[in-house]
Chain A
Amino acid sequence: MPEKTFKGIPASDGIAIGPTFCYIPAEMTIPVCAAGTVDEEMARFDTARKRARIELRGLCEAIEKRAGKEEASIFEAHQEMLSDPALEGKVRAEVEVGQTVEEALVKATEELASLLAGMNDELFAARALDVKDVGRRILRILLGLPDTALSAVTEPSIIVAEDLTPSDTASLDPKLTLGFITAQGGLTSHSAILARTLGLPAIVGMGNGLLEKVFSGLPIVMDGRTGEMIVMPDDETITRYKQIQIQRESHLQNLKAAADKNAHTANGRRVEVAANIGEVLSARDAMEHGAEGIGLLRTEFLYLEDSQPPSEEKQYRIYREIFEVMSGRPVIVRTLDIGGDKPPSYLPFPNEMNPFLGWRAIRISLDEPELFKTQLRAILRAAVGHRARIMFPMVSDLDELRRAREIVETVKRDLTLASVEFAADVPVGIMVETPAAAVLVDVLAEASDFFSLGTNDLTQYTMAVDRGNAKVSGLFQPLHPAVLRLIRQTIDAGHAKGKWVGMCGELAGMTKAIPILLGFGLDEFSMNPRAIPEAKNLIGKLTDERAREIASQAMSFGTAAEIENYMKGILASL
């Protein structure tokens, strides 16, 4: 097979070279359909077995490296079983009486497995499981389904999938993940954000049919800067990309060394550069990359990993651990931000036409006060001795904010009555991510101690575009003049009321946006940890005056493309 290149949307910087791991979460149900000729069915069987062999070889090598020859020998036995004449004979006999190869395979493996299962000696009887396992592997391949769980990744691989949800990636071992390539999704889809958080390359929006172009075990090279996926790369390509990889590493090391100092503009104004994280591990990563705080601690992961809401104690432990890792730096905890697009099983979600305009975030918290109170108690308790802040997502109305704050006060009263220790002075603010909140900042300031711009949702709601829909995601332009005007308005209105205004959306970490935001007077830039070194470096090159000039020039353009183009020139000149 010659080298072949496919192109998608570059979503996270970096280069990966390695085997493919195809992922489709699906049940293995055999479709009812007429069988082909004996030759056709048997040819499908042979092709499936060939692929199974490639998978097993990969497994074998990986396990041998990790756990030794002994452990790996089981997959050698599986390879032996693939070409077993008894298996083939039984499959053929079934196919010859008109069964599809899938039906024949299920019957054959069941028969052979039961022969073994009936043996007296345990050691031999246990091999029945291996026969079944091999049968399942072949069947899965016949049905066109790759390995069914990301926990099945056993060697460092590039994950290729239709799309990835937070629960898909929950079982993923970051050490075994080289990068993500998805058919669907845009720059802010889960896999793209996760990849940037982990510092892994990602390509999204490859389009339909991605999983027909690759299969597990197939060697590929991916370039997260250009969005290129190279299938079956030749030696020359691999050497070239390995070199780029090495250069990139050393460049990042240099930036990282510079990131340990607090960020200042060229004229000495202190600007806070913080990190967006979603778990304890990335808090450590944030510290390593020079985060001066956590501008956004997402708590959804806690709510999506189980069939019941996380207990107060579990939340307390996790918040506490993160506060401790950040040792005295400010941490903004965003309360529950889920909705119908990723509903947990324990909440009564209605059928929604538009989950992004539906029952989500603060709206759920206000309707489910017990769920909300549990989280607030855990945060307030964990905050003792630390600099925590509480932030409500998706506020669009002053009454919502007042009610949410009332619940915070109720929780504090309850904790006091129960003589439970908690931090009484935790600032409470909101995320500005609806156009309604952005235009109401002066009003909302009555009940909000600070504001943090969530540019992903703000862009989505302002531009009326579903960022996960590849057909329209081109309209998802965070540098659109409409979005930038709302951002500037939010910062100005917040400052006029003496409030601190930060940003925890993707935009805060984009070099093409940072000079403009600096010019607007943004107080805090919170981004994925890996983007921090470069952001600090850029901020240090700009004076406030220069940034204001750039911002005002950028705002004179009428389209996002013109602004991007202008910023490209600015960045090149710095």
Chain B
Amino acid sequence: MAEATIQVKHKIGLHARPAALFVQTANKFKSKIKVKNLTATGDFVDAKSIIMVLTLGVMKDHKVLIQTDGIDADLALDALKSLIENNFGEA
């Protein structure tokens, strides 16, 4: 199992396109992936579910905790981390 805490910098947070990219990336891996909004209350949700990721209400500057568990856990965590750090491919 691997985990990381990352701050979301994107201006609309994990919504619309960023949320879709986040979920699409998560779905590329076999591992179980969970994500939680540390800035708000609430529990972990399935990172492969767009609906559940939206329920986290992650906005600009919120911190999220990502946990990956499975054969490609490290790869998955890296991919999601770099997606958020690179601001979802936007400058």
A115–B51 Cα distance when bound, in Å, is 9
A52–B19 Cα distance when bound, in Å, is 21
A73–B51 Cα distance when bound, in Å, is 15
A127–B50 Cα distance when bound, in Å, is 11
**Inter-chain contact A86/B51, CB cutoff 8 Å:** yes
**Inter-chain contact B51/A123, CB cutoff 8 Å:** no
Q: A82-127: which residues lie under 8 A (CB-CB) from chain B?
A: 83-87, 112, 115-116, 119-121, 123-124, 127
**Inter-chain contact A131/B57, CB cutoff 8 Å:** no
**CB < 8 Å neighbour of A116 from B12, B20, B54:** B54
A80–B23 Cα distance when bound, in Å, is 8
- Is A76's beta carbon under 8 Å from chain B? yes
In this complex, the interface size class of chain A, counting residues with CB under 8 Å from chain B, is 20 to 34
- Is A81's beta carbon under 8 Å from chain B? yes
A85–B48 Cα distance when bound, in Å, is 7
**Inter-chain contact A115/B55, CB cutoff 8 Å:** yes
Q: A122-171: which residues lie under 8 A (CB-CB) from chain B?
A: 123-124, 127, 131
**Inter-chain contact A121/B50, CB cutoff 8 Å:** no
Known: A76-B20, A123-B12. A86 touches B46 (CB 8 A): yes
A119: chain B residues within 8 A (beta carbon): 55, 57
**Inter-chain contact A124/B57, CB cutoff 8 Å:** yes
**CB < 8 Å neighbour of B54 from A76, A85, A120, A124:** A124
**Inter-chain contact A127/B54, CB cutoff 8 Å:** yes
**Inter-chain contact A80/B59, CB cutoff 8 Å:** no
Chain B residue at smallest Cβ distance from A125:
B57
Chain A nearest CB from B85 CB (Å) reads 22
Chain A residue at smallest Cβ distance from B59:
A121
Chain A nearest CB from B19 CB (Å) reads 8
Chain A nearest CB from B61 CB (Å) reads 14
**Inter-chain contact B17/A73, CB cutoff 8 Å:** yes
B49: chain A residues within 8 A (beta carbon): 84-87
**Inter-chain contact A73/B50, CB cutoff 8 Å:** no
Q: A444-471: which residues lie under 8 A (CB-CB) from chain B?
A: none
Q: A485-500: which residues lie under 8 A (CB-CB) from chain B?
A: none
Q: A4-33: which residues lie under 8 A (CB-CB) from chain B?
A: none
Map CB proximity to A onto B51-65 as digits: 1 under 8 Å, 0 otherwise.
110110101000000
A23–B17 Cα distance when bound, in Å, is 32
Known: A73-B16, A112-B51, A116-B55. A80 touches B24 (CB 8 A): yes
A83: chain B residues within 8 A (beta carbon): 27
Q: A53-93: which residues lie under 8 A (CB-CB) from chain B?
A: 73, 76-77, 80-81, 83-87
Chain A residue at smallest Cβ distance from B15:
A123
Interface size (B, Cβ < 8 Å)?
A: 20
Chain A nearest CB from B12 CB (Å) reads 7
**Inter-chain contact B17/A81, CB cutoff 8 Å:** no
Map CB proximity to A onto B22-34 as digits: 1 under 8 Å, 0 otherwise.
0110010000000
Q: B3-22: which residues lie under 8 A (CB-CB) from chain A?
A: 12, 15-17, 19-20
**Inter-chain contact A80/B46, CB cutoff 8 Å:** no
A115–B48 Cα distance when bound, in Å, is 17
* Chain B CB within 10 Å, residue with most, of A73, A120, A124: A124
A124: chain B residues within 8 A (beta carbon): 15, 54-55, 57
Chain A residue at smallest Cβ distance from B56:
A124
**Inter-chain contact A81/B50, CB cutoff 8 Å:** yes
Known: A73-B17, A80-B20. A131 touches B51 (CB 8 A): yes
**CB < 8 Å neighbour of A80 from B12, B15, B50, B55:** B50
Chain B nearest CB from A94 CB (Å) reads 16
**Inter-chain contact B57/A77, CB cutoff 8 Å:** no
Chain A residue at smallest Cβ distance from B45:
A86
B27: chain A residues within 8 A (beta carbon): 83
A87–B16 Cα distance when bound, in Å, is 18
A123: chain B residues within 8 A (beta carbon): 12, 15
A84–B46 Cα distance when bound, in Å, is 10
A80–B57 Cα distance when bound, in Å, is 18
B12: chain A residues within 8 A (beta carbon): 123
**Inter-chain contact A84/B57, CB cutoff 8 Å:** no
Known: A120-B57, A124-B57. A84 touches B51 (CB 8 A): yes
**Inter-chain contact A121/B17, CB cutoff 8 Å:** no
Chain A residue at smallest Cβ distance from B12:
A123
| Residues of chain B whose beta carbon lies under 8 Å from any beta carbon of chain A | 12, 15-17, 19-20, 23-24, 27, 45-46, 48-52, 54-55, 57, 59
Q: List 16 A-B contacts (CB under 8 A).
A: A77-B19, A77-B20, A77-B50, A80-B23, A81-B50, A83-B27, A84-B52, A86-B51, A87-B49, A112-B51, A115-B51, A116-B54, A119-B55, A123-B12, A124-B54, A124-B55
Known: A87-B49, A124-B55. 11 other contacts (CB 8 A): A77-B19, A80-B23, A84-B52, A86-B46, A87-B51, A115-B55, A116-B51, A119-B55, A121-B57, A123-B12, A124-B54
